[in-house]
């Protein structure tokens, strides 16, 4: 009799414990738990949640990621609409900061240069997250948290000389930064008026000095208030014969369309690194995490490489680049870089814009 009672007590306790465990497992994960979840059913949870959310909002400063990469994601997950807003890094930071300050959390994922990502992290605007693809990236490609990352590299591109080969034969195009002072290029060059051009001004200043920039300003260089990608389009159409502020990836894509363009690495070649992150309060967290998984996956990185972007993945093999690169953004703290950008923008206005 006593044995039977004890058995019933044990059975009740085990059943109650199992029910409690099941209840804990079946309850919705909090945002913090979801972002760092590593269970075997992670993909299933993300897919189910993303189907209900139906969309995500993605802010980026890269044209190819905004277009073909995001479109490839939508093709793989047709039940998720990727709402993309693309602008340069400075405008992107301003928009995000203003939205958060007003209590509006519209964006889920942000993708931009490391120095601006560092500012977002410093202002507690990024959420630590996990992805199975993290193991394919070196620590240098990550802004690490306690168990996951706050941001990680998803692309690398390079800024240097782009020119139209119908207007300038490759044998005659500039082969060094000093060649830009040749009188034949007077009135034929343009530079991007966005952060792309600002970085170039800063890199040339540090490499060649103020006197060189002063001489360069006498070449009647036109400052175009547009992105490097848009400026590359003008080079491809022949409206701009050449520009030293062109991304290799943009020339890569134009050449695939048989445009008469070429890209040449002349010092300083500025490396532009793109990193991506989950924002602190994403309105569509399941879809956002799926997007970050895809962006850094082998499949997503291969789509990125079709646009001439280089990949930081260890298992994919990136585009070979044998030229010397300048990582100007990583030379300074975010605060120092902000001051430098102000100085370089002022120098651009003084030497180039006011002469137009």
**Together in a domain, 329 and 294:** no
**Together in a domain, 300 and 329:** no
- Give the pLDDT of residue 354: 73
pLDDT of 325 over the 60 cut: yes
**Together in a domain, 83 and 124:** yes
**Together in a domain, 336 and 347:** yes
Q: Does 14 map to a domain?
A: no
- Give the pLDDT of residue 114: 84
Contacts 24+ apart (CB under 8 A), 208-217: 208/177, 212/177, 213/347, 213/351, 214/351, 215/181, 216/180, 216/181, 216/351, 217/351, 217/352, 217/355
- Give the pLDDT of residue 28: 87
**Together in a domain, 74 and 137:** yes
Range of the domain at 173: 157-271+322-355
pLDDT of 12 over the 70 cut: no
pLDDT of 202 over the 90 cut: yes
Q: Does 10 map to a domain?
A: no
Q: Mind listing the pLDDT tens digit for each residue in 17-42?
A: 444 334 445 678 999 999 999 999 99
Q: Mind listing the pLDDT tens digit for each residue in 216-273?
A: 999 999 999 998 889 999 999 999 999 999 999 899 889 989 999 999 999 899 988 8
Q: Does 9 map to a domain?
A: no
Q: What CATH number should be reported for the domain holding residue 168?
A: 3.40.190.10
**Together in a domain, 125 and 162:** no
**Together in a domain, 245 and 205:** yes
Count of domains observed in the chain: 2
Name the pLDDT band for 201 (thresholds 50, 70, 90).
very high
pLDDT of 192 over the 90 cut: yes
Q: Does 184 map to a domain?
A: yes
Q: Does 11 map to a domain?
A: no
Name the pLDDT band for 60 (thresholds 50, 70, 90).
very high
**Together in a domain, 167 and 284:** no
* Three-state SS at 40: coil
């Amino acid at each position: 009799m006593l044995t039977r009672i004890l058995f019933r007590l044990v059975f009740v306790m085990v059943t109650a414990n199992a029910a409690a465990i099941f209840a804990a497992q079946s309850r919705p994960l909090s945002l913090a738990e979801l972002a760092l979840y590593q269970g075997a059913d992670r993909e299933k949870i993300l897919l189910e949640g993303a189907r209900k959310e139906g969309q995500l909002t993605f802010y980026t400063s890269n044209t190819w990621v905004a277009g073909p990469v995001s479109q490839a994601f939508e093709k793989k997950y047709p039940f998720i609409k990727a709402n993309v807003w693309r602008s340069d890094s400075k405008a992107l930071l301003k928009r995000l900061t203003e939205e958060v300050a007003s209590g509006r959390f519209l964006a889920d994922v942000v993708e931009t240069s490391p120095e601006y990502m560092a500012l977002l992290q410093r202002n507690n605007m990024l959420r630590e997250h996990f992805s199975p693809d993290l193991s394919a990236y070196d620590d240098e490609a990550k802004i690490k948290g306690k168990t996951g990352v706050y941001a990680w590299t998803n692309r690398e591109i390079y800024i240097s000389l782009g020119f139209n080969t119908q207007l300038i034969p490759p044998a005659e195009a500039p082969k060094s930064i000093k060649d830009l002072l040749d009188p034949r290029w007077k009135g034929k060059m343009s530079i991007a008026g966005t952060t792309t051009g600002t970085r170039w001004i800063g890199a040339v200043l540090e490499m060649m000095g103020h006197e060189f920039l002063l001489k360069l300003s006498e070449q009647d260089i036109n400052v175009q208030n547009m992105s490097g990608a848009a400026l590359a389009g003008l080079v491809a159409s022949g409206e701009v014969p050449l520009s030293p502020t062109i991304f290799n990836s943009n020339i890569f894509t134009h050449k695939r369309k048989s445009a008469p363009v070429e890209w040449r690495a002349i010092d300083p070649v500025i490396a532009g690194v793109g990193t991506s992150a989950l924002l602190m309060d994403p309105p569509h967290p399941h879809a956002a995490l799926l997007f970050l998984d895809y962006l850094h996956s082998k499949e997503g990185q291969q789509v990125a490489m079709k646009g001439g972007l280089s990949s930081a993945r260890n298992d994919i093999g990136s585009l070979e680049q044998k030229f010397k690169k300048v990582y100007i953004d990583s030379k300074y703290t975010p605060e120092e870089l902000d001051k430098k950008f102000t100085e370089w923008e002022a120098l651009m206005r003084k030497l180039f814009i006011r002469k137009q």
